Amino acid sequence: MPLMYRRASPVVTTIAATVASMIMGIMLAVLMGLSPASAATSPSPEPSPSGDFTSTFTIGGLIRDGDTPIEGVEVQVEGDGFDEVGVTGEDGRWTVPVPGPGAYTATLLPDTLPEGIVPRDPENITRDVTLGTTNTVNVLFPTGEGTVVENNIADTILTRFIYGLNFGLLLALGAIGISLIYGTTKLNNFAHGEMVTFGAVIFFFFGTVIGLPLYVSIPIALALSAFTGYAQDAWLHKPLRRRGVGLVQAMIVTIGLSILARYVILFFLGGNIYTIDTGLTATIDIGPATITVASLVSMGVSILMLILVGLFLTRTRIGKATRAVSDNASLAAASGINVDRIIRIVWILAATLTGLSGILYGVFRQVNWSMGFQILLLLFAAVTLGGLGSAFGALVGALIIGVVTEVSTVWIPNDLRYAVALIILILVLLVRPQGVLGRKERVG
Amino acid sequence: MADTTAAYATPSPTETREPVLYSTDLVAGYIPGVNILNGCNISAYAGELIGIIGPNGAGKSTFLKAVFGQVKIRSGSIHLKGDDITGLKADKLVSKGVGMVPQNNNVFPTLSIEENLEMGMFQAPKLFSERFEFVTTIFPELAKRRKQRAGSLSGGERQMVAMGRALMMDPSVLLLDEPSAGLSPVRQDETFLRVHQINRAGVSVIMVEQNARRCLQICDRAYVLDQGKDAYTGTGRELLRDPKVTELYLGTLAADVDADTKARADSAAGTTTGTATGTAGVAPV
């Protein structure tokens, strides 16, 4: 199997993975990233005296295509003289008992995968596994239907570009939500990530768990998302504004709400990663690129919604009033605009768009309890990149971030792609401090 | 003319006309315990152009903000056409017929001129074309540049957009907070001319001005505010030639005014003296 991505040197990969992991601040990830180095220092596996492998130390995992377990896939586990191959059973599970604690590598043998199924991440079919205090370690090798079998770099870039557009467009929906709220209230809403998660989780629950058709589950998810927008303004932010709470204080409140909402979602959803089944897994070839119908539909929906938001802001009376409130809230009030009412509408609209963004993001990747939090910084980056408070700027910023993160994975490790987006943000702000579409206003 | 002026200056008990807007013993302030306005009585009759002058910190802008519901009113009341409008919110006041042009940040910079005017009549969108026509007869250049972003305009042009915006709702009273502030002399002249035009079109105007002399020259009646109280009132010309007002409030300004303007102001005041023989000078309130 030809490697599709140019591999960075192992040292660079290790350092990069370490840095990325530290950015994420996840202890476990740090350990994983460092494991090639720690292999030298950690105790090498001591073959148990009797040499029988009935010990309780095992490495195992589950390989499936979507929800279907794949049988007969081989995974090779090696480590300091130990070498064993595990085969997945009917349930897609494989288990390799190992002699004891220590460092091992698990390698998915891609040739044993059924026709048309490929690893989602061909870069990463070899994993470092460290058995320390736990007896059992699970290794995941996500696989799926032929997402990638290219060997031409231009084709790869094109495919990544299209996925980047999709990602950028769905980010734009959430980013415009942030931008509208920031514009009208000057509040940085850190609970926005959870609004993304909420949309995805509700859609997953009604669409995949209960099994309602899309035309029922999507409206339910959007309606409930809209309600969260209403509730946040009516029960939290409007009273805070009334009491004259400062913007920084209000921002801290949104951070608190974000944490609360995230762990409530964790409580109900659990820590697993779920896949949304839209029934749109067929693929279409666009030139040399292959892309799923779900992605095409997702892009279409995003573009349609963004056009509608654009028309709303430029053509309708309420939309113009929204821009007026963003420009100058006290003058808007002095013109006879009920500013609180506009802000309420903005919260509802922003929450609905963000919920939709979550639905599409859940389809694009997977659903888990912290999915929104993981892209929160990207949303803020998109808004800042485009020009704070400008809805159209948020769209441009989100497209840049989406395309850059996806295309960057052609050259750099997956884990680093979000860092690339933030580096772009810094570079753009150094050149254009007001953002790509932000304007410097004439003073008088 | 002299009789009318006298009636304005001191409304007689038999005067049946109600002022379109009046404040009674208005007390207001920003910080608890500190009053900026200390019992302010100001009234405007239909069609009048009222000037409010006074030293810095006298409460001129605060008075407008209090009328427009932007400062907390501690006691006293404000009536508009007989209705008590004390402490109403801005959007309610706009629908009742009060228009306000703040001193700073008085346009929506990312909106076009036309959209700025549209926002002015957010509550009555159907009348847009009719009111747009009215506003553009006073400010013809706004019609020519309707698609231009207001943020790209100069201070004087912004002032026109701001006044246009406030006129869109066809207000009974227009409150102007220092319309000439920060403008070049030519632009100041133009602004005063436009204010005069707006007033002649039938809109009562209450204008706060730093440029006291110019303000007194064009207004029908004026109030001198001092420490939150209306210290003097009278027609503009009476106040201009009142030695006490000149000494206290115009004296320092007079030094700044160039000789030509001063001469014109003096001759204007002189003419008034000649014709309005019956006026009793300035009566401290």
- Residue boundaries of the structural domains of chain B: 2-251, 252-285
The rounded distance, in Å, linking the Cα atoms of A412 and A8 is 7
User: With an 8 Å Cβ cutoff, are B90 and A442 in contact?
Assistant: no
Listed range (A92-106, A245-259, B173-187) with the worst mean pLDDT: A92-106
Kindly list the distances between the CA atom of residue B254 and the CA atoms of A437, B260, B264, in Å, as whole numbers in the listed order.
48, 11, 12
Helices (H), chain B: 2-9, 60-67, 90-96, 113-120, 128-138, 140-144, 155-167, 185-200, 212-218, 236-241, 243-245, 251-256, 259-275
Chain A nearest-CA distance from B90, in A, is 5
Closest CA to A70 of A118, A105, A107: A118
More confidently predicted of B18 and A361: A361
Does the structure show a pLDDT above 70 at A44? Answer: no
Contacts A–B by Cβ distance under 8 A:
79
- By the 8 A CB rule, do A189 and A373 touch? no
Residue B251's pLDDT is what? 59
* Most confident stretch, A7-11, A347-351, B174-178, B253-257: A347-351
- By the 8 A CB rule, do B24 and B16 touch? no
Q: Tokens at residue A354, please?
A: 């963000």
| Chain mean pLDDT for chain A | 81
């979507």: which residue's tokens? A66
Residue B68's closest chain A neighbor by CA? A334
Listed range (A33-42, A138-147, A227-236, A408-417) with the worst mean pLDDT: A33-42
Q: How far apart are the first and last CA of chain B?
A: 22
The rounded distance, in Å, linking the Cα atoms of A242 and B231 is 36
User: With an 8 Å Cβ cutoff, are B122 and A321 in contact?
Assistant: yes
Residue A288's pLDDT is what? 75
Chain B nearest-CA distance from A222, in A, is 29
- The full set of domain ranges for chain A reads 39-148, 154-431
CATH 2.60.40 corresponds to the domain A154-431: no
Q: Tokens at residue A134, please?
A: 């736990």
Is residue B176 within 8 angstroms of chain A, CB to CB? no
More confidently predicted of B94 and B270: B94
Is residue B30 within 8 angstroms of chain A, CB to CB? no
Residue B120's closest chain A neighbor by CA? A335
Residue A434's pLDDT is what? 84
Is residue A232 within 8 angstroms of chain B, CB to CB? no
Residue A33's pLDDT is what? 39
What's CA B173's distance to the chain center, in Å? Answer: 9
Does the structure show a pLDDT above 50 at A361? Answer: yes
Radius of gyration over every alpha carbon of chain A, rounded to an integer in angstroms: 24
For residue A176, the SS3 value is helix
User: With an 8 Å Cβ cutoff, are A442 and B107 in contact?
Assistant: no
Beta pairing class for B98-101 and B21-28 = unpaired
User: With an 8 Å Cβ cutoff, are A336 and B120 in contact?
Assistant: yes
Residue A45's pLDDT is what? 45
Q: Name the band, by pLDDT with cuts 50, 70 and 90, for residue A298.
A: very high
Residue A442's pLDDT is what? 53
Q: Choosing among A335, A338, A388, A441, which should be mutated to test the B contact, i.e. which has the most B CBs within 10 A?
A: A335
Q: Mind listing the pLDDT tens digit for each residue in A275-289?
A: 887 777 788 877 777
Does the structure show a pLDDT above 50 at A4? Answer: no
Listed range (A96-100, A292-296, A395-399) with the worst mean pLDDT: A96-100
Mean pLDDT value across residues A386-406: 88
Q: Name the band, by pLDDT with cuts 50, 70 and 90, for residue A231.
A: very high
CA atoms within 13 A on the CB side of A228: 26
Mean pLDDT value across residues A417-434: 87
Residue A389's pLDDT is what? 72
Is residue A318 within 8 angstroms of chain B, CB to CB? no
Listed range (A35-49, B158-172, B190-204) with the worst mean pLDDT: A35-49
Residue A279's pLDDT is what? 76
Residue B19's pLDDT is what? 87
Q: How many CB atoms lie within 10 A of CB A238?
A: 16
Chain A hits for B110, CB-CB cut-off 8 Å, are 323, 326-327, 390, 439
Q: Choosing among B88, B112, B122, B175, which should be mutated to test the A contact, i.e. which has the most A CBs within 10 A?
A: B122
Is residue A210 within 8 angstroms of chain B, CB to CB? no
More confidently predicted of A422 and A8: A422
User: With an 8 Å Cβ cutoff, are B169 and A317 in contact?
Assistant: no
Its CATH architecture, for the domain A39-148, is Sandwich (2.60)
Does the structure show a pLDDT above 50 at A57? Answer: yes
Q: Mind listing the pLDDT tens digit for each residue in A62-97?
A: 887 766 778 888 888 887 778 888 888 887 888 888
For residue B185, the SS3 value is helix
Listed range (A14-28, A108-122, A355-369, B57-71) with the worst mean pLDDT: A14-28
The rounded distance, in Å, linking the Cα atoms of A125 and A273 is 19
Cα dihedral B70, A328, A315, B111, rounded to 10, equals 130
Percent of chain A with pLDDT strictly greater than 70: 82
Residue A341's closest chain B neighbor by CA? B91
Beta pairing class for A126-131 and B283-284 = unpaired
CA angle A35, A39, A41 (to 5 degrees): 120
Does the structure show a pLDDT above 80 at A334? Answer: yes
Which residue from A323, A326, A331 is facing B106, i.e. has the nearest CB?
A331
Q: Name the band, by pLDDT with cuts 50, 70 and 90, for residue A112.
A: confident
Q: Name the band, by pLDDT with cuts 50, 70 and 90, for residue B261.
A: low
Which residue from B100, B110, B152 is facing A327, i.e. has the nearest CB?
B110
Residue A178's pLDDT is what? 94
Chain A hits for B119, CB-CB cut-off 8 Å, are 320-321, 324, 332, 335, 337
Mean pLDDT value across residues A127-156: 69
Does the structure show a pLDDT above 70 at B6? Answer: no
Kindly list the distances between the CA atom of residue A34 and the CA atoms of A128, A134, A410, A416, in Å, as whole numbers in the listed order.
10, 18, 23, 15
Does the structure show a pLDDT above 90 at A130? Answer: no
Residue B164's pLDDT is what? 94
- By the 8 A CB rule, do A233 and A180 touch? no
Q: Mind listing the pLDDT tens digit for each residue in B134-168?
A: 999 989 989 999 899 998 898 888 999 999 999 99
More confidently predicted of B201 and A120: B201
CA angle A139, A140, A143 (to 5 degrees): 150
User: With an 8 Å Cβ cutoff, are B120 and A444 in contact?
Assistant: no
Percent of chain A with pLDDT strictly greater than 90: 43
Q: Mind listing the pLDDT tens digit for each residue in A188-206?
A: 999 999 999 999 999 999 9
Its CATH architecture, for the domain B2-251, is 3-Layer(aba) Sandwich (3.40)
Cα-Cα-Cα-Cα dihedral sign, residues A415, A273, A39, A105: negative
User: With an 8 Å Cβ cutoff, are A441 and B151 in contact?
Assistant: yes
The rounded distance, in Å, linking the Cα atoms of B233 and B66 is 20
Q: Name the band, by pLDDT with cuts 50, 70 and 90, for residue A441.
A: low
Q: Tokens at residue B122, please?
A: 């957010």
Closest CA to B206 of B99, B58, B51: B51
Cα dihedral A163, A164, A168, A169, rounded to 10, equals -30
Q: Mind listing the pLDDT tens digit for each residue in B102-132?
A: 988 899 999 999 999 999 989 888 889 899 9
